[in-house]
Amino acid sequence: MTTSLHRRHFFLGALGAALGCARRDLRAFLAPRVSIIRAPSYNHDLTGMIRRILCEHRVAVAGKRILLKPNLVEFNAQAPINTNPILVSAAVEAFRSLGAASITIAEGPGHRRMTLDMADAAGFFSSIPRFEDLFVDLNTDDVQRVTLAHPVSTLKELYLPNTVFDCDLLVSLPKMKTHHWAGATLAMKNLFGVVPGSVYGWPKNILHWAGIDESIVDLHRLFPKQFAIVDGIEAMEGNGPILGTSKHVGVIVAGAHPPSVDATCCQIMGIDPAKIRYLRLIEEISAWNWKKTVQTGESIATVRSPFALHPDLVRLRP
Amino acid sequence: MTDAEQLQAMLLSARNTDGGWPSRRGRSWTEPTALALLALQGEHVSNEVRAITASWLCQRQSRDGGWPPCAAVSTSTWVTSLALLALAQEREYSSGCPKGAQWLSSHVYPELSMFRGFLQRGFGIAPSQAPGSSPWFPGTAGWVIPTAFGILALSCWITRLQNAGFQQAIERAQTYLLSRRCADGGWNHGGSLQRSETSPSYAETTGLALVALATVPASSLGSTLRFAQTLLDHPDSTEGVCWLLMGLAAHGFPRPATPMSIKPKTTQDVALHLITLQTLGGRNPFLQPAL
C-alpha cells in the first residue's frame, strides 16, 4: 500500500514536472524573441550579422518582396539622426543573399520635402549601389484609401502609399533615439514615415491630432508582417529625435515583433517600457506583455547604457 | 541648348499621357502639375500643352472649390493655392477659381475667440491653429509652407476678385509668418508647440516666406535677408536654392544665376529651377496678378 502510494506519487509528480517544463518551454517558445547583437561600429561585418539574425529568426526571405523602411529625417550625415546608410546597405545585401525576389528601400521624411536631396547628403546614394533605382519616396508615391478597422486613435481612415502594400515583408530599420513626445522613437514610431506628406503635409500633423501614441499603434496594426532591425550602433540621446546628441551603444536589436523590439530597446536606453504609452496601449489591446519578451544574444544587462533624457522625460526612468 | 531649354525639355519629357505630371514617377498629382504649368507659362511652349495641362487641373477641382492632391484623395488641401496660381494665367480655364479662392480664404485660421486669447495671454498656451496660418490638411495645425502659398494665391486673385476679406486674410497670414521666425532669422516648418522654434531654419521655407512677404518692408525683416544670403553659401537642395534666390529677388537682392550645383531630381525641382531663371530675368510667376 505504502509502496503503491509512493509509486503513484512519484508517477504523478514526474508527470506534473514534465507538464510544467513543457509549459515553460512552450511559453518560451511562443514568447516574442528579440536578438541583441553587439556591433561596435559600422565597419564590422553588418551584412553577416543581419544574415545571422534573419536565419536565427527563421525569416522567410527567399522569393519574397522585401520593403526596407529606414529613418531618414535630415540632411546631416554626421549627426545620428538618420539610420546609417551603411546599415541599410548591409540589410540590402543580407536580404539579397538570402534570395529575396525584390528589395525596395522606401521612406517619407516628416519635416523636409526634398527627400532625394536629403538622401544624397545623408550618404544613401554613395553607400548603397543603385540607390535611386531601389528607392521610393513614400511622400509622393501613389496612394490608396485604407479604412482602419478598430482604431485606437481618432483616425477612421488613412491614405497610404501603394508601395507599402506591395510587399511580403515590411522591415522597419529605425535609429535608436529619444523622442520628445513619445519618449523613444524605435521600430513602431518609424512607421510614421509611411504616411504620405503629399496628402497630409510636412509634418504629418494629422497623426499628432489623432494622438501620437494611438497613431503609432494603429499604424503598427496595419502591417501584420514586419521585421525590425534597430540601428543602435550610434544612437541619439537627450532632445531627440533631431536636436539630441550622439550616444555610442554599439548594438543592433532585431525581431519579428516590433513592440517587443521597442521594449527591449527601451530597457537598453534606461527607459521603463511600462511608462511608454504606446507600448501600454498595445498591452491593453492584446495579450502581449513586454516582460514576456525573450532576449537572445547579449543580455540587456550587458549592453544597458542609460540615455540622457530631456527634463520632461526623466519620469520615464524605471 | 540654354539651361532653360534643357529644363523645359526635361519637364516635357516627364509629362504623363493624361496631361498631368507625377512628382517622379507614377500617376499625376496636382502639385507637380501646377508647378509645371507655372514654369511653362514663361517659356515658349505650344498653346496645346498649356491648354491640356490647364484642363487637367480644371477637371480635378472639387465641388467645395478646393483641389485634392491627386485623384485618389477626396479631400481638398493646401495644393488649392498652387492650382489657383497656375490657372491665374489661363483665363479660359479659370472659371472655377473664384470658388477656389473662397475655399482658400476660409482655410486661413481666424482671430482667437476671447477665451482662447485669454489662455494664450495669461498662460502662454499658443494655439495650434494660430490666427492667420493655414494647414496642409484641413482641420490640423497651421504651418509655414501652406500659409506662404496661401498668401501668394490670394494676392494673385485679390485684384480681379475685389474681395476685402482676402486682404484681411493676407495680412493675418503675413503677421503669422513674421511671428514664426526662428532665432536665426529664417523659417523652418513653423510649429511653436512642436519645439521647432529652437530648431535651425530651412533654406526652402526661408526663401518661400520671403516671397510671401514681398510686400512687407525690409525694415520689418531685420537680419532675415542677410541670413538668407548666408544660407545660399551652403546649398543643400534645388528647392532650397530656388526659393532663396526668389526670396532675395523679391526684396531687391537679386543674385546672379549661377549654374545649379545640385541635380534636379523631381518635377518640382525642374519646374522651380525654370521659374527661378524667369524670376532672375525679371518676372516671378508667383507674384503675377490673375488675368
The predicted-structure confidence for A56-82, as pLDDT tens digits, reads as follows: 999 999 999 999 999 999 888 888 999
Query: For the residues of A241-263, what is the DSSP string, one character each?
Result: TTS-EEEEEEEEEEES-HHHHHH
Q: Which residue has the higher pLDDT, A76 or A8?
A: A76
The pLDDT tens digits of the residues spanning B194-208 come to 445 567 899 999 999
Q: How far is CA A57 from CA A38, A98, A264, A298, in A?
A: 17, 13, 16, 15
Q: Is the pLDDT of residue A20 over 80?
A: no
CA dist A169 and B136 (Å) reads 31
In this prediction, residue A79 carries a pLDDT of 86
Position A147 confidence tier, pLDDT thresholds 50, 70, 90: very high
User: Which residue, among A143, A313, A168, has the nearest Cα to A226 in the 3D structure?
Assistant: A168
Task: For residues B48-71, give the mean pLDDT.
Answer: 98
In this prediction, residue B198 carries a pLDDT of 65
- Which three three-digit cell numbers place residue A95? 536580404
Least confident of A47-51, A263-267, B252-256: B252-256
Q: Which residue of A has its CA nearest to B25?
A: A141
Beta bridge partners, A69, equal A172
| H-helix segments, chain B | 3-13, 30-41, 47-59, 79-87, 97-105, 114-123, 144-161, 164-179, 203-212, 224-231, 238-250, 267-280
Number of H helices, E strands in chain A: 12, 12
Q: Please state whether the predicted TM-score (pTM) of the whole model is above 0.95.
A: no
In this prediction, residue A256 carries a pLDDT of 98
Q: How far is A291 from chain B (nearest CA, A)?
A: 32
Q: How far is B50 from chain A (nearest CA, A)?
A: 24
Task: Give me the percent of chain A exceeding a pLDDT of 70.
Answer: 91
CB A199 within 8 A of CB B137: yes
User: Which residue, among A245, A136, A265, A127, has the nearest Cα to A189 in the 3D structure?
Assistant: A265
Specify burial of residue B88 (Cβ count, 10 A radius: 0-12, 13-18, 19+). buried
The pLDDT tens digits of the residues spanning B257-289 come to 666 778 899 999 999 999 999 999 999 999 999
Q: Which residue has the higher pLDDT, B115 or B42?
A: B42
Task: Give me the percent of chain A exceeding a pLDDT of 90.
Answer: 86
Q: Is the pLDDT of residue A203 over 80?
A: yes
Average pLDDT, chain A: 92
Backbone angles phi, psi at B96, to 5 degrees: -85, -5
Position B128 confidence tier, pLDDT thresholds 50, 70, 90: confident
The pLDDT tens digits of the residues spanning A262-277 come to 999 999 999 999 999 9
Q: Which residue of B has its CA nearest to A137?
A: B24
Position A177 confidence tier, pLDDT thresholds 50, 70, 90: very high
Beta bridge partners, A232, equal A251
Helix (H) or strand (E) holding A17, with range, is helix A2-30
Note whether A114 contacts B237, CB cutoff 8 Å: yes
User: Which residue, among B57, B52, B35, B44, has the nearest Cα to B9 in the 3D structure?
Assistant: B44
In this prediction, residue B127 carries a pLDDT of 62
Q: Which residue has the higher pLDDT, A249 or A239?
A: A249
Contacts of A144 in chain B (CB under 8 A): 72
- Grid cell 529606414 is found at A70
CB A174 within 8 A of CB A187: yes
Residue of A116, A201, A209 with shortest CB distance to B143: A201
In this prediction, residue B199 carries a pLDDT of 77
Note whether B140 contacts A205, CB cutoff 8 Å: yes
Specify burial of residue A128 (Cβ count, 10 A radius: 0-12, 13-18, 19+). buried
Task: Give me the percent of chain B exceeding a pLDDT of 70.
Answer: 91
Task: For residues B26-32, give the mean pLDDT.
Answer: 97
Task: For residues B130-149, give the mean pLDDT.
Answer: 95
Contacts of A114 in chain B (CB under 8 A): 204, 237-240, 265-266, 269
User: Which residue, among A160, A144, A157, has the nearest Cα to A106 in the 3D structure?
Assistant: A160
Q: Which residue has the higher pLDDT, B236 or A269?
A: A269
Q: Which residues contact A101 (CB under 8 A, 6 or more apart)?
A: A63, A64, A65
Note whether A159 contacts B204, CB cutoff 8 Å: no
Q: How many CB atoms lie within 10 A of CB B125?
A: 11
Position A12 confidence tier, pLDDT thresholds 50, 70, 90: low
Task: Give me the percent of chain B exceeding a pLDDT of 90.
Answer: 79
Q: Is the pLDDT of residue B38 over 60?
A: yes
Backbone angles phi, psi at A309, to 5 degrees: -115, 145
Q: Which residue of B has its CA nearest to A206?
A: B140
Q: Which residue of A has its CA nearest to B141?
A: A205
CA dist A142 and A162 (Å) reads 6
Q: Which residue of B has its CA nearest to A163?
A: B26
DSSP code of residue B70: B
Average pLDDT, chain B: 91
Note whether A201 contacts B78, CB cutoff 8 Å: yes
Contacts of A200 in chain B (CB under 8 A): 136-137, 140
CB A260 within 8 A of CB A296: no
Q: How is chain B split among helix, strand and coil, in percent rounded to 5?
A: 55, 5, 45
Q: Which of B206, B236, B273 to mutate to test the interface with A (most CBs of A within 10 A)?
A: B236
Helix (H) or strand (E) holding A14, with range, is helix A2-30
In this prediction, residue B258 carries a pLDDT of 66
Q: Which residues contact B133 (CB under 8 A, 6 or more apart)?
A: B108, B109, B141, B142, B143, B146, B147, B173, B176, B190
Residue type, A219: L
Q: Is the pLDDT of residue B190 over 50?
A: yes
User: Which residue, among B183, B216, B189, B223, has the nearest Cα to B204 in the 3D structure?
Assistant: B189
Q: Which residue of B has its CA nearest to A205?
A: B140
Q: Is the pLDDT of residue B226 over 50?
A: yes
CB A169 within 8 A of CB A64: yes
Q: How far is B28 from chain A (nearest CA, A)?
A: 9
Cα dihedral: A226, A232, A234, A237 (round 10) = 100
Q: How far is A21 from chain B (nearest CA, A)?
A: 51
Position B244 confidence tier, pLDDT thresholds 50, 70, 90: very high
Cα of first residue to Cα of last residue in chain A, in angstroms, is 56
Note whether A200 contacts B137, CB cutoff 8 Å: yes
CA dist A163 and B177 (Å) reads 36
Q: Is the pLDDT of residue B231 over 70?
A: yes
In this prediction, residue B120 carries a pLDDT of 63
